[in-house]
Chain A
């Protein structure tokens, strides 16, 4: 069906222009920010949208400022800029998270919006068209079963954003725009837990910013499991933040289709219960170069390390 449509590349200058373009090409288009994730997926045949809407020239999606008690970070801020941004002095965990993504050159192109929205990954899905045909297509590419689990009827491709857990742990929010207007939600709310359609956003939504609550005095700890020290998607990212009041929140990626989140109120920390909750949420399967078992064991290790750092 898509083959008959003309390949098109559009570069809107404003959000509204972008929304209009999306309306015009509804069902056949994809938004793209830096494109480091999307272009690699296109190379492997995992994204074949005939119309690409490049958002990098949209003026009102850049910049960092303070509004209404939040630090508002434009979705087009690159991870490279964020990793060294003085504006994030209150949220240095986001700097650390941004710096942990991919490799230096990728971070110069990749954006914060793109990172929280990056497509879920699985060893059995992030492969070429030929490869997926050879193995029998999986659920995420119109097949009947999950290959990684040997036949389950659900997709466990992992959320691999490194910035998302950091943002979520610090009670961050996502701001997105659709023809119906602007909405702000806690970031974790957009992740569905279904690896096939992993984001609960309308197709024509554009993420415009990430918001982080100011003056919460977070102490935090960030951990990323990867084989090499660079050039890696995550196998487990765990981010923890405790605010000035002692309320804590921990969020993980890399072990479930969605962000796995747990929290505790000041004075009510129960490490055992927290671990149990995280492990219950982490439906990791063997779809990574590290096994499911090891990644789950590292949840405990990172949790302990994080608690050791942020809880006194």
Chain B
């Protein structure tokens, strides 16, 4: 250790450092300034950017001794006391902040480059920020914020006036903390005396574990506990029907990277050294990497899981048939067939998983980056064999999830166990590689579809045969299996519709739920085939879609109840705005335009755990101070659900945000919400909040009516006042509160959301049922380099039917982020394996599009006012992704005439297809 002096944000710190420590680690762990984030530790994400002597550096690749004696500015030093810097202000106001994890780096980088170039063009801003990855915003609002800051233009968000709170664009409640670097993510919270946990991971894809020798690791000074699989034998899995995983591998390993043992030690370095001392003796088994191979009989070889039904690795088969596909296809004038193959992809959230657990007089507590505190609560209780009443899950600020933090995870269970063994808090934080190995990303898929249409373009039949690669464990896979089929039954009318989907276990990190869950890949297939069909019919692809849309309120062939439907409005809007009619078929070779539509659920009507508990409960507490405490289990992971709850409660009570405080996602303090997945939170928690607020309104108005000798229905709440229709009563909220709390004290009320009973009377009818569905469309314009195959997306026009935008700034952010993620899947992202080992588990080789790869986006919110959604609101955070990959593929076809049926569509894929086409044309000419 060496004692050095660092001047950070003007304050002098004397810190003891190891000679090879990085500046990032020292700032976070020794100076305790955690606004500097670590997302990759390899200089490939930009989250750790700080100023060293006034010039930006990535602190994760800066040796701390280079900074000794120097002046450092971190994000915490940008605001002047409580006065935000105008750039921070601009990030807030423009909605450039969602999860906020990349924000400190973005702000530091921007301040740095503006010193050299104070008046950048839009492209120069994109260029300057192209080393800072963001996964939430699609960069659109970040570029807008920088532009506004440079131009010195202030706040210009003006919403409608139908409601005083709903529909007003506003930054999230916690945004000031996020732009200041003071928002606490899981790894930022330092619980004193915590031990550090590291994991030993399997080096074999499929192998029997003969023995594990922990002794040498245990003897290392500073090691406090070492555990292996046998210590935690109880199985878990997010779905009650897929309890197929243990916290650490027992008897055998099922993928390279599976946790085999864990160490708690005084420091991370000691824990890591100890892991290397653990000896595991393996006998390799035949590994299965290919889903199709996994469908076959394994013969004498060992299956991945003993519990699968036959002597193969098929985890789940789902099949539903409506009408008669064969007859429909037989009657069709045109039948399009296609096989579509996709690599798996990862969520790529910027904040790696992290957790700290401890035990005290109240039992177990864990602070962890999770989207599903409730499910984690259940499975911690199950695996650790403690009553649920002794488990507390606390969700801090979370740096993005997208489905990647929506399972209970082994590392969460293990740190709890180690904390119990050692009697001390135990923490862990993942490297980016560990994030990739944990995965739960989108399933690699191989699908064959047939789509038939009559001569007039109306769809005659659709049949899909889908194979998805589940990896080693179940996760949400049974749901994914169904979604791959059932979510094809809209937005188009289909009478003869059927599918078979099989999910297969393979010896790879498990697949799970990811933004747009289960429907993205099949949507790519069908929307590509519609494009093909339009060409066959000599019809405009937009016209063909408009011809086939389910219109208005309807039931689909599989009994999905559609209550609000903006399909045609979305498509017509992007057609108009993109100049579709002037461009389609009229652009020169190499330049193309493509379109596609989408459809998604707004929450699952059937809960994962079959019980009669509401899907969401919100409590409100009003005390003498007039503050309304909103208490909800809903998990804000950067999508803005805390703000949504406050806005809804404020709307009902006629209050502004100054009277409202949100307490969320702490299973000891907040009532249960099932979690942030399947686009359910605004619809379900929002409705629960609305009901709770209505209940509180009733109580307050009744009390005021009684005190004032009038009837409650003569009173209303408006702009922080209780007023009577005759104008005689005009009380402030606090005065009304005083009346309402007389004799009874604080008022507490509850609101619940229970889905209506939905669905048909057949087995499997529950899959994909939702109280509401969302619709969307996208048009993409591309240039394809005819020599290299490189695809440059020029512009994207998107429209999404969100029912009603409760917070338009947040809704736009969700849409733009979804489109960005869709572009990544379309063009560059893939998880590539070599003998079951992920070869690109880092942010250099896993290609999340940078700001330069992301085009200008034109954002359209379409409002259809869902009859059951809160103020008409429904899904907006996932469904917008669906149209993007097929719109890109269709645009590429339009540009260079090659039909791509695999994702991602890298330059190489386009190049090969163009070459093959050339060869084909030459052969035909010959």
Contact = CB atoms under 8 A, between A and B. Distances in A.
A230 B131 contact: yes
Contact of A105 (B49, B787, B828): B49
Pick the most buried of A43, A44, A130: most chain B CB atoms within 10 A of its CB.
Answer: A130
B41 A227 contact: no
Contact of B20 (A52, A135, A147): A52
B433 A54 contact: no
A119 B128 CA distance: 26
Q: Which of B22, B58, B204, B908 has the most CB of A within 10 A?
A: B908
Contacts of A227: 828, 847, 906-907
B847 A131 contact: no
Interface in B746-803: 787-788
B640 interface: no
Interface string A25-42: 000000010011001101
Interface string B93-107: 000000000000000
B387 interface: no
A124 B42 CA distance: 17
Contacts of A133: 203
A8 B19 contact: yes
B42 A229 contact: no
Given A40-B61, A227-B907, A108 B845 contact: no
A49 to B, nearest CB: 9
Contacts of A36: 43, 58, 61
Interface string B643-666: 000000000000000000000000
Interface stretch (A59-67, A179-187, A290-298): A290-298
B852 A9 contact: no
Contacts of A105: 43, 46, 49, 56-58, 109, 112, 131-132
Contacts of B850: 103, 228-231
A108 B20 CA distance: 21
Nearest to B130: A230
Among A8, A32, A227, A290, max chain B CB count under 10 A is at A227
Contacts of A43: 41-42, 60-61
A128 B838 CA distance: 12
Nearest to B848: A228
Interface string A146-168: 01000000000000000000000
A124 B20 contact: no
Given A39-B22, A231-B844, A233-B844, A297 B911 contact: yes
Interface string A91-110: 00000000000111110110
Interface stretch (B62-70, B220-228, B469-477, B512-520): B62-70
Contacts of A40: 42-44, 61
A214 interface: no
Interface in B835-889: 835, 837, 839-841, 844-845, 847, 849-853
A184 to B, nearest CB: 29
Give the interface size class of chain A.
35 or more
B20 A42 contact: yes
Contacts of A229: 130, 850, 852-853
Contacts of A231: 44, 130-131, 133, 844, 850
Contacts of A291: 908
A225 interface: yes
B301 interface: no
Nearest to B105: A105
Given A40-B42, A228-B853, A289-B845, A103 B130 contact: yes
Interface string B130-151: 1111000000000000000000
Interface string A268-312: 000000000000000000000111001001100100110000000
A123 interface: yes
B549 interface: no
A6 to B, nearest CB: 8
A40 B203 CA distance: 22
Interface string B27-55: 00000000000000111101001000001
A134 B62 contact: no
B847 A130 contact: no
Interface in B1-45: 18-20, 22, 41-44
B199 to A, nearest CB: 10
B19 A104 contact: no
B119 to A, nearest CB: 16
A231 to B, nearest CB: 5
A234 B912 CA distance: 20
Contacts of B109: 104-105
Contacts of A9: 19-20, 63, 65
B62 A104 contact: no
Contacts of B19: 7-9, 52
Given A44-B42, A228-B847, A230-B852, A104 B127 contact: yes
Interface in A222-247: 225, 227-233
A228 B907 CA distance: 10
B426 interface: no
A304 B788 CA distance: 12
A43 to B, nearest CB: 5
A305 B133 CA distance: 32
B834 interface: yes
Contacts of A123: 839-840, 845
Given A40-B61, A225-B907, A298-B788, 14 more contacts: A9-B63, A36-B58, A36-B61, A39-B43, A39-B62, A40-B43, A104-B113, A105-B132, A128-B433, A130-B201, A131-B837, A134-B837, A230-B130, A231-B844
24 contacts: A9-B63, A35-B62, A43-B60, A44-B42, A102-B131, A104-B113, A105-B131, A108-B56, A108-B112, A109-B57, A109-B58, A109-B61, A126-B844, A127-B839, A130-B203, A134-B837, A135-B834, A227-B907, A229-B130, A230-B850, A230-B851, A231-B130, A294-B908, A304-B787
Interface of B: 18-20, 22, 41-44, 46, 49, 55-58, 60-63, 65-66, 109, 112-113, 127-133, 201, 203-204, 256, 431, 433, 787-788, 828, 832, 834-835, 837, 839-841, 844-845, 847, 849-853, 906-908, 911-912
